[in-house]
Chain A
């Protein structure tokens, strides 16, 4: 009859197959699986974290850059604004501007550099301990800006010290400088002790 042919009761074969699977799994699972971490002490297994030296070193360096006070001209005010509470450079672990190059990692050169000042910039850069980075902030620092043809202005600070990041603007907004600092972070994170 039609009704019996399409009845809801399943055929007995499926139940038998299921019963066999359960029985075989039960027979195989009479003992608990050994703990793969059993060879570790309880203390150790909770406290050891494995990573690479590069990752930790770059992580530590990029999040604790100490910038050097280096305001040469009007760009310095934007740098001060970046450091103050509104833009708050401390969010990037750069709490204190250091007055001594020996305690600083990052030289933010903000402003017009004259040839008479250039030997001082070079000396301060050489006094900074490795590893060290340089941000050229503003048009005057990058290329001499409107004073490029002048008799007294250095046409680009990259003639004096190597530059890592250029932040253009006249002057750049604090957001621009923060973007430059983020670029420095990206650069540090890609560094490796193998190349150092």
Chain B
């Protein structure tokens, strides 16, 4: 079975390289700032000991005070997994760097998160609506929709 890596352990490794990047970390997940997300993701993918070569899931959660974008990472070679999160507090224009360059599977998932939650993925090559049609007003999975 896939081993879920302890979040605090990974957070310690991230902090050594990128001081101030980790917002909070517990056993289940690591939360990093959105500014350092791309560097942290690059580090997680390209460090041989971690080697997270596969993004299984990317989704967004609306906690009213802030949006949280969740990345479920898996290493197919080492068979371990990690949950990486980031938060954005600007409700009108929540911007998160895109990770399409690292994981191609992020393409559609980021478009879906943009479509339904309105999160703007900076650097996405084709950021437009995926499930709803062009011209739809609003982002329906937000708490304040309707």
Contact = CB atoms under 8 A, between A and B. Distances in A.
- Do the two chains bind? yes
Contacts of B140: 151-152
Contacts of B133: 115-116
Contacts of A151: 136, 138, 140, 145-146
Interface in A103-136: 115-116
B24 interface: no
Band of interface residues on A: under 10
Interface residues of B, number: 8
Contacts of A152: 131-132, 140
A118 to B, nearest CB: 10
Interface string A144-159: 0000000110000000
Interface of A: 115-116, 151-152
Contacts of B145: 151
Given A151-B136, A151-B140, 10 more contacts: A115-B133, A116-B131, A116-B132, A116-B133, A151-B138, A151-B145, A151-B146, A152-B131, A152-B132, A152-B140
Interface string B114-146: 000000000000000001110010101000011
A115 B135 CA distance: 12
A32 to B, nearest CB: 84
A152 to B, nearest CB: 7
Contacts of A115: 133
B44 to A, nearest CB: 35
10 contacts: A115-B133, A116-B131, A116-B132, A151-B136, A151-B140, A151-B145, A151-B146, A152-B131, A152-B132, A152-B140
A151 B145 CA distance: 10
A123 B103 CA distance: 38
A192 B146 CA distance: 49
B112 to A, nearest CB: 13
A80 to B, nearest CB: 26
Contacts of A116: 131-133
Interface string B65-100: 000000000000000000000000000000000000
A151 B133 CA distance: 12
A116 B115 CA distance: 14
Contacts of B138: 151
Interface string B44-65: 0000000000000000000000
Nearest to B140: A151
Nearest to A115: B133
A116 B136 CA distance: 11
Nearest to A149: B146
Contacts of B132: 116, 152
A151 B132 CA distance: 10
Contacts of B146: 151
Most buried by B among A115, A116, A151, A152: A151
Nearest to B145: A151
A152 B115 CA distance: 13
